[in-house]
Structure 1
Amino acid sequence: MYIVKSNLKTILDARGMSIRQFAEKSGLKFETVRRLYNDKTVQYHRETLAAVCVTLGVGIDELLTIVEVEGTGSGE
């Protein structure tokens, strides 16, 4: 099984930027950024992804990656 993983934590940590600082800079709600930072986002809104990528000057492929997860119990 594959899942989409957020790399926002890695990116912000490398830049020494807090969730709150980034939320203010990007104009996104703190809770939205917190979920993306902690990789707890269930649905990715296009506008949110665009705001994150533009604010950080990164491509979507740097922000999100697809990873394989084993042992998920899906029976496949």
Structure 2
Amino acid sequence: MSIRELEKATGLKFESLRRLYNNETTRYPSEVIGRICEVLKIDISDLLILVDNNNDNKEKSEG
């Protein structure tokens, strides 16, 4: 599904969806995430992955 198709299906703004797709956002509004999950019939865990960057930073400072 393209961003344009998702825009039409969800009623969300193209630019908001594009930023999410390109991982250019720092905030994930619950209404946006909820609407995407609802339209795609998926769970939030299918959409988002939690990455622990603390281990990366710790390894770099110790290296």
Match of 1:18 in 2: 2
Is 2:32 the partner of 1:48? yes
Which one has the bigger helix percentage? 2
Q: Unaligned regions of 5+ residues in structure 1, if any?
A: 1-16
Shift of 1:23: 0.8
- Where has structure 1 moved over 6 Å in runs of 4 or more? none
Structure showing greater radius of gyration is 2
Residue 9 of structure 1 corresponds to which residue in structure 2? none
Aligned pair partner of 1:57 in 11, 27, 41: 41
SS of corresponding position for 2:50: strand
Mark the runs of 5 or more structure 2 residues left unpaired by the alignment: none
Which of the pair has the greater relative contact order for Cα pairs under 8 Å at 6+ separation?
A: 1
Number of equivalenced pairs: 59
Q: Give the aligned CA root-mean-square deviation in angstroms.
A: 2.2
